[in-house]
Amino acid sequence: MPEFLFQRVALIGIGLIGSSLARVMEREKIAAEIIVSTRSENTLKRAEELGLGSRYYLDAGDAVEGADLVIVCVPVGASEAVAKQIAPRLKKGAIVTDVGSVKKAVIAAMRPHIPQDVYFIAGHPIAGTEYSGPDSGFASLFDGRWCILTPEAGEDATALDKLVEFWKACGSTVEVMDAEHHDLVLAVVSHLPHIIAYNIVGTADDLETVTKSEVIKYSASGFRDFTRLAASDPIMWRDVCLNNKDAILEMLSRFSEDLSALQRAIRWSDGDALHQLFTRTRGIRRDLIDAGQETSEPNFGRQHENGEPAQ
């Protein structure tokens, strides 16, 4: 009999992240039992067809009974309702975590409902694609990616160690940081780029002098990479914007100032300023490839194991 890290893991939400976790847990034999819960009958049926768990529930409360680890994988805005639903059914000594892209708001929404005899440690795997639902997940999603855990001060060290071990077994490298700092960092590296992409793609769509077919035809010249980000799940990104308002607004105002400086350099034909900025940013791209967070292959090497484009 293999020794499992957890006996029973309950996944609340079985979309891209939940189903990827189910797949990697199966691949790595992390849990003896994987319990799946989602709110809609259609998604639950699909998860069952895909064989993502051993038991399936529409009621999240039913799913968490007896679970040693509960991972909430729903849009950030649904975290509080899920916490309320599962709280009375959680096993004493269980670990509850989440995967939401925003941390301070999720902790504020969930923590008050989690019983004192249950450990709660929020988390965020820095891994994803623009696809959603149980079919979009894949076992290698977390391989070589970071996972950030944001325990509150005084949280139990053994529970934290166990969660760190879990994410390592899923292929990730774990970093522990303060929730507020997480939200600021992610506002720069993830939230701002998505907002800019949504904006650019929206602007191109509104143009009257350049036709839609021209935008699509010549998209390989740069636009295409923005469309990938702008195709990300609208509910997830609505919730990210609504729940990380302060950090996002701060980054957007910094961005607007820098954009004005760039606009000025173009207006005044300041080639040196443009060249200097573009050289500096090219260096950042190189650092990123060196750090193994991207590839230098065409199309960013985006293929996952099903042969479909990922990330």
151 binds ligand NAP (CB under 6 A): no
78 binds ligand NAP (CB under 6 A): yes
**Can you point out the beta strands (E) in the chain?**
6-12, 31-37, 55-57, 69-72, 95-98, 119-120, 122-125, 146-150, 173-176
β-bridge partners, 8: 33
Handedness of CA 188, 190, 192, 196 (dihedral sign): positive
Q: How near is the Cβ of 262 to ligand NAP at its closest, in Å? A: 29
75 binds ligand NAP (CB under 6 A): yes
Give the one residue of 38, 97, 172, 244 binding ligand NAP; rule: CB under 6 A: 38
Give the one residue of 5, 8, 15, 150 binding ligand NAP; rule: CB under 6 A: 15
Give the one residue of 5, 10, 14, 52 binding ligand NAP; rule: CB under 6 A: 14
76 binds ligand NAP (CB under 6 A): yes
Angle at 269 between CA 265 and CA 275, to 5 degrees: 65
230 binds ligand NAP (CB under 6 A): no
Mark the segment that binds ligand NAP (CB under 6 A) among 13-21, 165-173, 254-262, 276-284. 13-21
According to DSSP, residue 142 is labeled G
Give the one residue of 5, 9, 16, 204 binding ligand NAP; rule: CB under 6 A: 16
Rg from Cα positions in the chain = 21
Instruction: Output the six-digit token pair for 82.
Output: 């899920």
Q: How near is the Cβ of 74 to ligand NAP at its closest, in Å? A: 4
Q: How near is the Cβ of 275 to ligand NAP at its closest, in Å? A: 34
34 binds ligand NAP (CB under 6 A): no
User: What is the 3-state composition of the chain as percent helix, strand, coil, each rounded to the nearest 5?
Assistant: 55, 15, 30
40 binds ligand NAP (CB under 6 A): yes
Distances (CA, A) of 296 to 137, 145, 218, 278: 24, 17, 22, 18
Decide if 100 contacts 233 (C-beta within 8 A): no
171 binds ligand NAP (CB under 6 A): no
71 binds ligand NAP (CB under 6 A): no
- Residue 43: strand, helix, or coil: helix
Give the one residue of 17, 174, 248, 310 binding ligand NAP; rule: CB under 6 A: 17
Instruction: Output the six-digit token pair for 112.
Output: 């008050």
Q: How near is the Cβ of 62 to ligand NAP at its closest, in Å? A: 14
For ligand NAP, the binding residues (CB under 6 A) are: 13-18, 38-40, 43, 73-76, 78, 82, 99-101, 124-125, 128-129, 132-133, 233, 236
